[in-house]
Structure 1
Amino acid sequence: MSQMKVVPGIKITPAIMIANALPDMDYPAYSSTAAYNIGDYVTIDLINYQALVANTNRHPVTDTATPAAWQAIGWVNKYRMFNKNIGNTWQIGTFTSSPESIDLTIRPGKRINAIGLVGVRASSVRIVMTVPGVADAVYDKTFAMSRKAGGSWYQYYFGPFTTKDNLAEFNLPPINNADIRVIISAPGGTAQVGMMVIGWAKNLGTAVYDTSFGRKKYSTIKEEFDGSVTMTKRGRRRSIDFQVVLLDDDEISSTQRVLDDVDDTPALFVGSSELSYTIIVGIFDDFDTALPTYNFGKYTLKVRSLS
C-alpha cells in the first residue's frame, strides 16, 4: 500500500525553459516564395508541417483553401516531451530524443515539489535544483534507470540489464525561485523521454494491491487475397485501473475536488514511486466509488496514457 498521488503539470513554454541545447526547429522555416513538393517539411512556431500537395504561398497555418496544402504532424523534437496535442488531437507514441543525453533547465516561477518522467530510455536521470545566490544545489539526486542483473557473477557480467521506463520524485524542495535541471543520460546510445511533468503533488488516498494494468496497441494488420499480410505500425497506450482506499469520509470530497481540477487534463498519476509501472501520464476516464462505511471507502480510478 502506498499514498496515491496526482501531479497537474505546469505548461512548459520557451519563457520558462531557460536552457536546452536541442534545436528549436526540426526543418527549415516556411517561406512564402518557396515551391514545395508533396512530402516536404517545414517548422512554424515549434510545430512541424508536411506538404500534402505541391504549393507556393499557401501558409500552413492561415491557408483555408481546399484541399488542404499542409498537415500539422506534431511538435518539434525539443518540446515533444512536454506537448503531444495539436488542437484537441493528441499524438501517442511520440518522444523527445537525442544522442547520448538530454540536458535542460526549467525555471517554473512557482513552488513545485514533484517531477515525473515516463517512456524513458536512459541509464540514469539526474535532477538538480539551484537557487540564485546560493552556492550549493538545494537538491541533487541521480536515479538509475538501468542496472546489471544480480544474483551471481555470471548474471552480472553476462546477464541482461534490468530497466525501468518511468520515474516519479516527490521530495523536491518547494522553493518558488528555483531552477530545475534535468539530465537524461544514455552513454553510447540515444536518450529518450515520452513525457515529463513538473508541478505540485496532491493526495488521492491509498493505492492498494488490486490495481490492474493494461496496454493497447493501434497497429493494423490487413490480410490480402493471397494470404500476404500488410502491417501498419502505430502507437500504443498504457492503462492503469488504480484501486484506492479512503480512510476518512472527508477524503471523498477532497479527492473529488482534486480530480475536478484535472478533468480532461493530462496529469501525472502515481500509485507508488517505488513501482515504476504504477507511474503514468494521462487522463482519467472514470471515478467509481461506493458509499463509505465505518470511515472506510474504496474507489477505482481508470487512467489512460497520452504518451
Structure 2
Amino acid sequence: MSQMIVVPGLEITPTRLISSTLPIADYDVWSSTKAYAIGDKVTVGQINYEALVAHTNRNPVSDTTTPAAWLNLGWINRYRMFNKQIGNTWAIGSFSGAANEIDLTIRPGQRINSLGLVGVFASSVRVVMTQPGNPVPIYDQMLVMTAPSGRGWYQHFFARFKSRENLAVLDLPPASNADIRVIISAPGGTARVGMMILGWSKAIGTAVYDTSLGRKSYTTVKEEFDGSVTMTKHGARRQINYQVVMEGDQVTDALQTLDPLDATASLYVGAEELDYTIIAGTYDDLDIGLPTYNFATYTLSVRSLM
C-alpha cells in the first residue's frame, strides 16, 4: 500500500520553457507571399499545419474561408510532451522525441514539488534543480530507466533488458525561484516522452492492492462475408482503476482536490516505485462509499491522455 497522489499539471508556456534542445519549429514559418501546394506543412507559433488546397495568403490561424485551406496537425515536437490538445481534441499517441537525448530547462515561477514523465523511452532521466546565483544544485538525481532482466550471469549479459516507461519524482525541494533541468538520455536510440507534468502533489488517501490496470484499443474490426477480417489500426488508451482508502475526515478534501481536474491532464500515482501505477490523464469516475468506523473507500478510474 502507498499514498495515492495526484499532481495537477502546470501549464508550460514559452516563458516557462527557457531552454530545450528540441527545435523551436518543425517546418518553415508560414509566409503570406508564398504559394502553397497541397501537402505543404508550416509552423505558426507552437502549432503545425498542413495545406489542404493550393493557395496563397490564407493564414492558418485566422482564415475562415470554405473549403478550409489548412489542417491543424497539433503541437510542434518541442511542446508535444506538455500539450496534446487540438481544440477540444486530444492527440492520443503523440510524443516528443529526438536522437540520443532531450535536454530542457523549465522555470515554473512558483513552488512545485513533483514531476512526472509518462510514455518514456530512455536509459536514464536526470533531474537537476538550481537557483539563480547558486552554482550548486539543490537537487540532482539520476534515475535509471532500464535494468537487466532475470537473475544469474546469462540473464544479466544476454537477456533483454526490462525498462520503466513511467516515472514520478515526488521529492523536489519546494523552492519558488528554482530552474528544473530534465535530461532524457537514450544513447544510440531515440529519446522519447509522451507527457511531462509538473506541479504540487496532493495525497488523496492510500492506494490498496485491489487496484486494477486495463487498456482500451480503438482499432476497428470488420468481418467480411467470406470470413476475412479487415482491421484499421487506431489509438489505444490505458486505464487504471485505483482502489483507495482514506479517513472519513479526508473525504471533503479529496473531493475538493479532484473536482477541478475534470477533463484536464494530471499525474496520478498509486505507488512511486511501481511505474505501471503512474498515469497522466483525466479521471472518468469517482465512487466514494460513506465512511464506516471513520474510514471511507473509493474507486477512482483514470484514463490516459497520451
Tell me whether the two structures share a fold, i.e. TM-score over 0.5.
yes
Deviations 1:218-246 (A, max 9, x none): 22344566766554332211100100001
| Paired position in structure 2 for 1:265 | 264
| Paired position in structure 1 for 2:282 | 283
| Paired position in structure 1 for 2:152 | 152
Shift in Å, 1:263: 2.1
Shift in Å, 1:260: 1.6
Shift in Å, 1:73: 0.9
| Paired position in structure 1 for 2:66 | 66
| Paired position in structure 1 for 2:236 | 236
Shift in Å, 1:61: 1.2
TM-score, normalised with respect to structure 2: 0.97
- Mapped partners of 1:134, 1:113: distance in 2: 19
Question: Where does 1:247-258 land on structure 2 (aligned, <5 Å)?
Answer: 248-258=247-257
Deviations 1:62-94 (A, max 9, x none): 111111111101100000000000121111000
Residue 36 of structure 2 aligns to which amino acid in structure 1? Y
- Mapped partners of 1:29, 1:156: distance in 2: 49
- Mapped partners of 2:23, 2:223: distance in 1: 42
Residue 27 of structure 2 aligns to which amino acid in structure 1? Y
Q: Mark the CA change 1:230 to 1:32 in structure 2 (over 3 Å): closer, same or farther.
A: farther
229-238 or 115-124, which deviates more: 229-238
| Paired position in structure 1 for 2:29 | 29
Identity over the aligned pairs, expressed in percent?
61
Partner secondary structure for residue 151 of structure 1: coil
- Mapped partners of 2:231, 2:47: distance in 1: 28
| Paired position in structure 2 for 1:138 | 138
Partner secondary structure for residue 136 of structure 1: strand
> Structure 1: 5+ residue runs without aligned partners?
none
Partner secondary structure for residue 83 of structure 1: coil
| Paired position in structure 2 for 1:297 | 296
- Mapped partners of 1:99, 1:176: distance in 2: 33
Deviations 1:160-215 (A, max 9, x none): 10111000011000000111000000000000000000110001100001011111
Residue 185 in structure 1 maps to residue 179 in structure 2: no
- Mapped partners of 2:235, 2:102: distance in 1: 23
Residue 50 of structure 1 aligns to which amino acid in structure 2? E
Partner secondary structure for residue 29 of structure 1: coil
Deviations 1:91-121 (A, max 9, x none): 1000000000000000101111000000000
74-83 or 232-241, which deviates more: 232-241
| Paired position in structure 2 for 1:2 | 2
- Mapped partners of 2:193, 2:169: distance in 1: 16
| Paired position in structure 2 for 1:48 | 48
Partner secondary structure for residue 31 of structure 2: coil
Residue 251 of structure 1 aligns to which amino acid in structure 2? Q
Partner secondary structure for residue 137 of structure 1: strand
- Mapped partners of 1:112, 1:97: distance in 2: 25
Aligned residues of 2:120 and 2:165 also touching (Cα < 8 A): yes
Question: Where does 1:43-122 land on structure 2 (aligned, <5 Å)?
Answer: 43-122=43-122
Residue 15 in structure 1 maps to residue 15 in structure 2: yes
189-198 or 62-71, which deviates more: 62-71
Aligned residues of 2:283 and 2:303 also touching (Cα < 8 A): yes
- Mapped partners of 2:65, 2:221: distance in 1: 34
- Mapped partners of 2:233, 2:39: distance in 1: 19
Shift in Å, 1:60: 1.1
- Mapped partners of 2:193, 2:134: distance in 1: 30
Shift in Å, 1:149: 1.7
Residue 196 in structure 1 maps to residue 196 in structure 2: yes
Partner secondary structure for residue 103 of structure 2: strand
- Mapped partners of 2:33, 2:232: distance in 1: 36
Deviations 1:243-287 (A, max 9, x none): 0001x2210000000002312221000001010000001110111
Shift in Å, 1:55: 1.7
Residue 180 of structure 1 aligns to which amino acid in structure 2? I
Shift in Å, 1:148: 1.4
